[in-house]
Amino acid sequence: MKLNRSLIAVILISGVLGTSCLKDLDVKPKDPKITTSATVFDKPEAYKQFLAKLYSTLSLTGQKGEAGAPEISAPDEGTTAFIRGWWNAQEVTTDECINAWGDGGLVEYHGHIWSDNNDYIKLMYQRLFINISYCNEMIRAVNDNVGGLSGAQKTEIDAYQAEARFLRAYYYFCAMDLYGNVPFVTEADKPGAFLPKQIKRADLFKYVESELKAVADLLPQPGANEYARADRAAAWTLLSRIYLNAQVYTGTAMYGDCIKYANEVIGAGKYSLHGKYPELFLADNDKIKDEIIMPIASSGASSRSYGDVTFIIHAGVGGSEDAANTFGIASGGWGGNRLTTAFVNTQFADPSGNTDKRAIFHTAGQTLTITHPTVFTEGYLSAKWKNITSTGAQGGNSTFVETDFPLFRLAEVYLNYAEATVRGGAGGDAGKALQYVNALRTRAYEGASGNINSGQLNLDFLLQERGREFYWEFQRRTDLIRFGKFTGGSLLWDFKGNVMAGVSTDAHFNIFPIPASDMLLNNNLTQNPGY
Amino acid sequence: MEKIYSLKYGLLLLFVCLSNWVFAQSGTITGKVVDENNLPLPAATVVVKGKSISTSTDANGFYKLSNVPAGAQTVVISFIGYKNQENPVNVSGAVSLNGQLEPSTLALNEVAVIGYGTVRKSDATGAISVVTAKDFNRGAVNTIQDAIVGKLPGVVITSTSGAPGNTSTIRIRGGASLNASNDPLIVIDNVPIDNTALGGSANILNTINPNDVENITVLKDASATAIYGARASNGVLLITTKRGSKELKLNYNVTTSLSVLPKQVDVYTGDEFRDVVNKVYAGNTAVTNLLGTASTDWQKEIYQKAFGQDHNLSVSGTAKNLPYRVALGYNNSDGILKTYNFQRTTLAIGLDPSLLNNHLNIHVNVKGLYNLNNFAEQSAVGNAINYDPTKPVYNGNTRWRGYTTWTDKGNTNINGDPVTLAPANPVAQLDLTDNKSTVRRSIGNAQFDYKMHFLPELRANLNLAYDYAKVFGHNNARDSTQWVYIPVVAGGRLSNYEESRKNQLVDFYFNYVKDLKAVDSRLDATAGYSWSHFYREGHGTSSDIKMTAPQPPNDYITEYYLISFFGRLNYTFKDKYQLTFTVRDDATSRFAKDKRWGLFPAGAFTWRIKDEDFLKNSNTVSDLKLRVSYGVTGQQDLNNGNNYPYLAKFTVSDQTSRYQLGDTFYNTLRPDGYDANIKWETTTTTNIGLDYGFLNNRLTGTIDYYFRKTKDLLSIVNAAAGTNFAATVLTNVGNMENRGLELGLNAVVISKKDFSWNLSYNISYNKNKITRLSLNANDNTIIQVGGISGTFNTIQAQKVGSPLNSFYVYQQIYDSNGKPIEDAYVDRNNDNVINSSDLYIYKKPDPTVQMGINSRLAYKDWDFAFSGRLSLGNYNYNNVASGSTYRGLYSSLGYIANQTKAAEETQFTTALKTNMSDFYIQKASYFRMDNVNLGYNVPKFNKLKLRVSAGVQNVFVITKYKGLDPEISGGLDNNFFPRARIYQLGLNCTF
């Protein structure tokens, strides 16, 4: 019965195959780049790499350079970056920037005609909440594992947790500023199929405030942390900013608190204005420790993104500008962003740069007046951001720039102090306020010729001064809203309201809508008024 | 995998042992059984009357009866649906006896391949269509898709480009999936193959030379496909290759071809361009100074007349008792785009030994592919449209290798810095790019079909298969070229890649067939197990020519497993009523433990109405069969390389996504988005069909109605903000429906001795609708898809109530002359603002109705055939036209660019979102004459048969579409590689 035996053998073999191979279904990734969550923190260095991810999401878009492994999908991965999203929302919607690409989303931004379907509104919203989710995961990972670590290691990763909380507070600040009432998730909410609850803008303000105050005591002393990591001064600066805008966020002014935290930064004694304003925006600005409290780090070789300062520089270069030699981007500009006529005229009586050195404009071949938004040679160009060092050398890469983004710098603390004081904040000293403003003016004019007297220090002046000091540094929309000039008709600029001369726009544009995509998913959300 | 190999060798040994089985000394009877058309009848029962000696015929109709007592015997040959045949024979030693069976009723007796077995087509319960080699489109030698395009109702084949050897999308009854693959499962000689594109090699079906294919069977309804369970939602394409013949047969086939560009895109000539730039930019010397004095037809510069040749040599026969077929093929075709070339060498070996008195049938297949591609720089196609026609090809510069190049000093310094975003000189692109790949692939299997000696009704079938491939290639560009600026401006590019694929398969099943004469029934049961493994790894590097700035390598390893148990039961009563039940239980390693198993059942009923008494004697109705089926199939093919979508994991960044903290750059570690609960997408299909034949089957055909509903669509959707580690996540959301009607008709119009005319026609109608897209059933959910060139915009969207990939656009307003008014759109939501909330769903890319017509006329030694297709209800987004405006003539980056004449029609000068207008959604219905072929069969010369033929492929297209070609896979028309018109001469010799 040889045959029957072989038949039985066949059946047995197939039976064995059938059962033993079921284990194949539990296959784990073989790719060395991938680790399962269950084992990733077995190696302590993973915490630092994860911390680096939390910071890198300020400028980068994924795990494969400029494109290829994004966390947010978009036809152009560069549009998913935090800097680009925050910059477009804060600049293109204002008098500081008009774009030439004919990109529908940006046209809606500049004209104040956006809807809840605008892609840029969605991408920025997604970016903020992805970044918040990463911070939550870091906070959880530390909570889950910190017990098993030794003393020095424990201290170090506890510090990472404080930084994760700081970054989360910063992203929630952006969400509060842009969208007002947003979904709210903390480390208590594990990823999965749940629908977050919505938090009111004023409640979110309290949360951001309390988190910042809490971490301000946990973070390293001013200047004591590593390059590009947050310290107490970063938390204090952000506190002074949210208090300056508390009236907008909560309906209650808190100028005294703004002054208090501005004083903390100034009083730390670590910071002073950098000697030359233009150097703050050059390829070697990572060396500037006197004024920059916290930068977003850039590296042409190692941190590549089409949505960080690379975007700010390329998008603003074109026309007769020399991309390679003046801007250090031999691969060329993208001919998109320039200043509105109204901005130049209002802010700079002398746009030549001969008096106020902050007027870093390129005017050759450009008309001041903009009649066609899509014609790049209409409107002055900003040549403030460059991938050239203070000694004139080009950055290391002809596309991806070395220029850091100064996320917090002392000049803002000075102007916050001055404005809170003018607005009657408790503890403000008018003399100091004038002194701080004139310190900026002196630097800008390279002497006292531009200094003002106490009579000139009023709110209108301060708004303009912030424009001169911070244009293209994503402050403008927040500033205009605080001054009541973002919507409405009290300040007009070319193509505000999608009309060349500019028209009044509706107040509901002071807050962006919750993107339609998330409204459709999350039944807990109520749309902002007017959308 | 070791266990598979050891199993393979173990079994081989086992069979070697079995073949040594000792037989008693007596007579043997061998022979071949054929049907009324002289086609082999497999599985026919051959019995020595009054003795317990029996066997069945093999796949080629051969049988062997051993141990037959000497003397006068009667051999009875029987097969379901045929009359029994009794043959007296005098046995002494080895005798031969062939049989030809006559059908008991007039029926279609073709054998159809179904999953894990074969069935007579007349017994098939599912909706299946077969095309055999003799019906292939004549002269279509490059791809299998070309050979069957237009032949099958419900099957839409669209080539994605005109490059020789290029890929096609195949859609059976429209797509059933949203983000998962919509490709049908392709099974070659019982080996399901991996359908993901092989890096570098465009077409997965290129592995197979169309000349080696015997027939192609398409399984359409769930009753037919459910045996493939989780891989079958989009239908199954079963390809069976040619087998060895009884007699030695040699065949040589050669085809030479000449490809030409049928039509150029209508752009401004040099003079026209000078006129229009001078008109639009009158007085703006910054622009008009950029104009040159030449008149270059850039399209003429990049296209050529291209030659191709295709050779096939096959030998088939039977060596001793071993039927074999060996075929060698070689194809070398140039593309009409200069430098493009496709070379394919194929080897196919098929062996079909039968051992143990035909109880053990073995089928061994080895197929090899060696494919060389020169892909050229295909962006030259678009740049030939846009490059300034007033510039010469060469302008004598020294910095850009002499090729005219946009530099940032306009015309003033031809050696200046490049305008990297300006159109590239297309001639330079073709000349200076080296984009080649080599593909080596082999698919092989050994199938052992053993009929139990003690129980001949029971068969055990073991199929062991592999599919290994290796691709390597490079896409290099010389330095001093303006269009390569990453990582170093004008630094050129050295880019190498390689990929290996190792897929293995083990199938094992039992099949039991029993005639239950007492109750006039027949039972056919199959139960089996399948294991397959798909493994890929690859490596890529890229840098500038001087290797000063190497890019991070692109490395990957990924794999998954599928394990299945399956069964099928066919029950036939009175040869008239048939029931089929199929079930497959599938598991994939792509899903979590408690989600990975999916059970896919199906049932079908057929009624052979023709065999009822009231029709039995009808001469008018020669065949009539009703089929009804219902079943469930699945989908787990994620189409995006993500084999671990359920797993919580972290990914470390490459060297260019590091971040600096302190003095150190850290490779960042990111938690990835995932869905722990991801599971199968399931499709249920209901099918009602009728097979019919009239007038002694002079007119035959099928009609099918189907309704297919997919639920838990594997969709890439937005995750609620704050709930995941990616903004979009692959999850099971949404439902979709397809319903349709198919009609196939074959007519023998004339059937005379010297004159015959066969005509076939098919028409299919499909309606696709998305019925749900979000977990909370919110009908307003929009998923935007379909990125278009030139902007960050998308032009299509998925929306509940609309067909898949519908266009999502602004509604254009026209003036009284019907000319679109620049930047004027309908305010659809009446909020006095035109913004993204005014976009609306308008038309779709997929055809509503497709028809195919095929004709074959034979007169004496001449034959003439043509085949054509009509497509109705399909629309394209004409991206070539939407990218052509007066505004596009000049870029503030410092260059001027040619436009198509569509710019003249609109004369848009400044407006922003004109490319999102429904004006550019254009009707693209068409009729295409795919093939015309004339052949002459030279009268027989000894045993030599000779046929010469001449033909044209892509003969003409009738359409109102304004773009170059209305047939666009996916409906986004953006400068694709144009389809050539191909003139062919062929010679075929057989002896």
Residue-level pLDDT at B88: 84
C-alpha distances in angstroms, B683 versus B313, B632, B639? 43, 5, 17
Element at B617 (helix H, strand E): none
Torsion of CA B426, B428, B430, B433, to 10 degrees: -130
Contacts of B382 (CB under 8 A, 6+ apart): B423, B789, B974, B975
B876: β partners: B922
Most confident of A204-213, A317-326, B245-254, B604-613: A204-213
B108 confidence band (pLDDT: 50, 70, 90): very low
pLDDT over 60 (residue A19): no
Give the alpha-carbon dihedral of A280, A285, A291, A294, to 10 degrees: 120
- Bridge partner residues of B631 (DSSP): B602, B685
Contact A80/A67 with Cβ under 8 angstroms?
Answer: no
Taking the Cβ of residue A263 and every Cβ of chain B, the question of whether any pair is shorter than 8 Å is answered with no
If contacts are CB pairs under 8 Å, which of residues 96-115 in chain A contact chain B? 100-105, 107-108, 113-115
- Averaged confidence pLDDT in chain A: 93
Least confident of A493-502, B171-180, B209-218: B171-180
The total number of residues shown for chain B amounts to 991
Contact between chains at A104 and B913 (C-beta distance less than 8 A): yes
User: What's the pLDDT band for B14 if we cut at 50, 70, 90?
Assistant: very low
- Residues B322 and B956: their CA atoms lie apart, in Å, by 47
* Chosen from A5, A17, A190 to mutate, greatest number of chain B CBs within 10 A: A17
Does position B15 have pLDDT exceeding 50, yes or no? no
Nearest to A104 among B460, B667, B912 (CB): B912
* DSSP assigned state of A148: G
B836 contacts in chain A (CB < 8 Å): 104-105, 108, 114-115, 117-119
Rounded to whole angstroms, the Cα distance separating B875 from B667 reads 46
Q: pTM score > 0.80 for this model? A: yes
Q: Is the pLDDT of residue B489 over 90?
A: no
Instruction: Identify which of B473, B492, B615 has the alpha carbon closest to the alpha carbon of residue B543.
Output: B492
Query: What's the residue count for chain A?
Result: 531
Candidates A2, A135, A521: best to mutate against B (most CBs of B within 10 A) is A521
Is the Cβ–Cβ distance between B733 and B701 less than 8 Å?
no
Task: Tell me the mean pLDDT in the region A278-307.
Answer: 96
Distance from CA of B759 to the nearest CA of A (A): 47
CB atoms within 10 A of CB B71: 10
Do A56 and B659 lie within an 8 Å CB cutoff? yes
**Partner B contacted by A84 (CB < 8 A):** no
Q: Please compute the mean of the pLDDT values over residues A422-448 and round it to a whole number.
A: 97
Residue B411: per-residue pLDDT: 66
> Residue A93: its chain B contacts at CB < 8 A?
none
Q: Which amino acid is at A275?
A: G
What torsion do the CA atoms of A352, A355, A359, A363 make, to the nearest 10 degrees? Answer: 0
Name every chain A residue with its beta carbon within 8 A of the beta carbon of B408: 322-323, 332
Quote the CA–CA distance of B194 and B535 in Å, as a whole number.
10
CA distance B824 to chain A (A): 14
Helix, strand, or coil here: B37?
coil
Give dist(CA A444, CA A280) in Å, integer: 12
Which 635-674 residues of chain B touch chain A by CB within 8 A? 643-644, 647-663, 665-671, 673-674
**CATH number of A23-94+125-278, picked from 3.30.470.20, 3.60.110.10, 1.25.40.390, 3.40.50.300:** 1.25.40.390
* Mutant choice from B503, B670, B879 vs A, greatest count of A C-beta within 10 A: B670
Q: How confident is the model at residue B912 (pLDDT cuts 50, 70, 90)?
A: low
> Residue B257 is encoded by which pair of tokens?
């071809």
B363, amino acid identity: H
Neighbours of B594 (CB within 10 A): 9
**pLDDT tops 90 at residue A494:** yes
CB B879 within 8 A of CB B911: no
Give pLDDT, residue B306: 95
Contact B560 A27 (CB under 8 A): yes
**A370-389: pLDDT as tens digits:** 988 888 989 999 999 999 99
Which band of pLDDT confidence, cut at 50, 70 and 90, is reported for residue A11?
low
Q: Is the model more confident about A17 or about B475?
A: B475
Q: Is the pLDDT of residue A432 over 70?
A: yes
pLDDT category of residue A219 using cuts at 50, 70 and 90: very high
pLDDT value at position B44? 81
End-to-end CA distance of chain A: 83
The dihedral formed by the CA atoms of B977, B979, B982 and B988, expressed in degrees to the nearest 10: 90
What is the percent of chain A with per-residue pLDDT over 70, rounded to a whole number? 96
Of the pLDDT bands very low, low, confident and very high (cuts 50, 70, 90), residue B4 is very low
Q: Cβ B892–A34 below 8 Å, yes or no?
A: no
Residues 511-550 of B with CB under 8 A from A: 529, 531, 533, 549
Residue contacts between A and B (CB atoms, under 8 Å): 381
Q: Give strand ranges (E) for A379-497.
A: 381-382, 405-409
As a whole number of angstroms, the distance between CA B653 and CA B668 comes to 5
Which residue among A134, A302, A319 sits closest to B725, beta carbon to beta carbon? A134
Mean pLDDT across B244-263: 92
* Rounded Cα–Cα distance for residues B896 and B290 (Å): 7
Instruction: From chain B, pick out residues whose CB is under 8 angstroms from the CB of A379.
Output: none
More confident residue, B245 or A513: A513
Q: What angle do CA B441, B442, B445 make, to 5 degrees?
A: 155
Least confident of B201-210, B354-363, B886-895: B201-210
Burial classification of residue A456, based on how many CB atoms lie within 10 Å of its CB (0-12 exposed, 13-18 middle, 19 or more buried): exposed
Tens digits of residue pLDDT in B823-835:
899 999 998 888 8
- Distance (Å, whole) CA B673 – CA B570: 45
- Test mutation, B486, B653, B831, chain A, max A CBs within 10 A: B653
* Separation between Cα atoms, residue B716 and residue B179, nearest integer Å: 6
Please provide the average confidence, as pLDDT, over all residues in chain B: 87
Task: Give the nearest chain B residue to A230 (CA atoms).
Answer: B661
In B, which residues are within 8 Å of A375 by CB distance? 892, 910
For A78-118, what is each residue's pLDDT tens digit?
999 999 999 999 999 999 999 988 788 899 999 999 989 89
From the list B420, B726, B835, the residue facing A71 with the nearest CB is B726
The answer, yes or no, to whether residue B8 has pLDDT greater than 70, is no
Which tokens belong to A184?
A: 């709210």
pLDDT at B107 over 60: no
Helices (H) and strands (E) in chain A, counts: 18, 9
Interface test with A, best of B359, B539, B660 (most A CBs within 10 A): B660
What is the per-residue DSSP string for A164-217?
A: HHHHHHHHHHHHHHHHSSEEE--TTS-SSS--PEEE-HHHHHHHHHHHHHHHHT
- Percent of chain B having pLDDT more than 90? 57
> Positive or negative, the Cα torsion across A107, A109, A114, A116?
positive
Beta bridge partners of residue B798, listed in sequence order = B783
> Considering only CA atoms, which of A423, A473, A469, A461 is closest in space to residue A442?
A469
Q: Is A39 on the interface with B (CB under 8 A)?
A: no
Structure tokens at B173: 């009854």
Please report the residues numbered 287 through 316 in chain A whose beta carbons come closer than 8 angstroms to any beta carbon of chain B.
Answer: 297, 299, 301-304
Indicate whether B940 pLDDT > 80: no
pLDDT over threshold 80, residue B910: no
* CA quadruple B287, B290, B296, B299: dihedral sign: negative
CB-nearest to A31 from B506, B556, B724 is B556
Following DSSP, what letter does each residue of B51-69 receive, concatenated?
TTEEEE--TTSEEEEEEEP
Pairing of strands B699-711, B806-809: unpaired
Q: Is the pLDDT of residue B124 over 80?
A: no
Q: Using 50, 70 and 90 to split pLDDT, how confident is the model at B868?
A: very high
Phi, psi torsion values for B579, nearest 5 degrees: -125, 135
Does A50 contact chain B (CB < 8 Å)? yes
Both tokens of B934, joined, read 């004339």
Peptide bond into B487 cis (omega under 30): yes
Tell whether A62 lies on the interface with B, counting CB pairs under 8 A: yes
For residue range B400-422, what is the model confidence (pLDDT) as tens digits?
999 999 987 666 789 988 888 89
- Whether A183 and A203 have beta carbons less than 8 Å apart is answered as no
Confidence check: pLDDT of B179 > 90: no
**pLDDT tens, position by position, B618-674:** 888 988 999 999 999 988 887 666 889 999 999 999 999 999 999 999 999 999 999
Residue with tokens 């966020």: A249
Helix (H) or strand (E) holding B604: strand B597-607
Distance CA B187, CA B201 (A): 19
User: pLDDT at residue B429 above 90?
Assistant: yes
Give all domains of chain B, ordered by start, each with its CATH number: 21-100 (2.60.40.1120), 111-241 (2.170.130.10)
Q: What's the CA gap between B677 and B712, in Å, rounded? A: 12
The nearest CA of chain A is from the CA of B200 a distance in Å of 18
Closest CA to B888 of B875, B898, B874: B898
pLDDT digit string, tens, across residues A305-345: 999 999 999 999 998 899 999 999 998 899 999 999 999 99
Nearest to B673 by CA among B619, B710, B721: B721
Structure token digits, residue B774: 């979000």
Q: Residue B122: pLDDT above 80?
A: no
